[in-house]
Amino acid sequence: MQRPMKRIVTGHDAQGNAVVAMDGVPPNIVELNNLPGTVFYELWKTHTMPAVLDNGPDPTLGALRLPPTAGGTVVRIVDIPPDTAEFLAHGAAKMQGAFAQIGDVHASTVKKDSPHPLMHRTESVDYGIVIEGEITLVMDLGEAVLKQGDVVIQRGTNHAWANRSDKVCRIAFILIDGRYDPEIKVQIESQS
C-alpha cells in the first residue's frame, strides 16, 4: 500500500461559520481481493445534482461502488500496481469477482479477445489525474500513456488501466454520473 493521504472535509458550525468537520485518513480504504495491490481510497460522494451542501454524515462509509449513483459524483484515489505476467495471462478469470467487490459486476466488459483483462465501462464522465507514476489507458482501438501530472477525460468508453512500469501508479478520479447519447447507446449495445 502506498503512502496514505490526509482528507480534510469542511462544514459549518451552528452560527454558519466555516469549520473543519473531518480531518484524517479517509475511513474507507479497500484493497481489491482479486487484484492485490489495487487500493481504492474513497474520498467523497454526492448523490444529487446540484449537490446538497450540509453537515451530513460521511457519505463514503459503506460498501464500495465503482460508478456514482444516479445524479451523483465520486472522488477517489486508486493505487494501481504493475501488471504481472500472471495477471495478464489469467486475470480475466478474476474480473467478475473484482468488479463485484467494487459494486458493479456489469462494468466488466472483458472478453476472450480483449486487449487487457481489466476492460470495463461505466456510464459516467471520469476525470483522471496521475499523481505519481505512469499508466497506460488501453482502449478498444489504441492506447495513451499518462505520466505524473497528465489528465484523462474518459467519457463512458470501454477501457482498462495497464501499469507497464515497475512501480505503483497513484491516480485521482472524479466520476460524474452521465447518460449515453442515444446513438452511442445503440452502438454500444450492438457490440454486446
pLDDT tens digits, 105-131: 999 999 989 999 999 999 999 999 999
Q: What is the pLDDT of residue 2?
A: 58
Query: Which residues in the chain land under pLDDT 70?
Result: 1-3
DSSP category for residue 82: P
Question: Model-level pTM?
Answer: 0.94
DSSP category for residue 167: S
Question: For cell 499508466, what's the residue?
Answer: 135
Domains belonging to the chain, first-starting first, are 28-191 (2.60.120.10)
Q: Could you give the CA distance from residue 85 to residue 129 in angstroms, rounded to a whole number?
A: 26
pLDDT tens digits, 11-28: 999 999 999 999 999 999
**Rg, Å, the chain Cα set:** 17
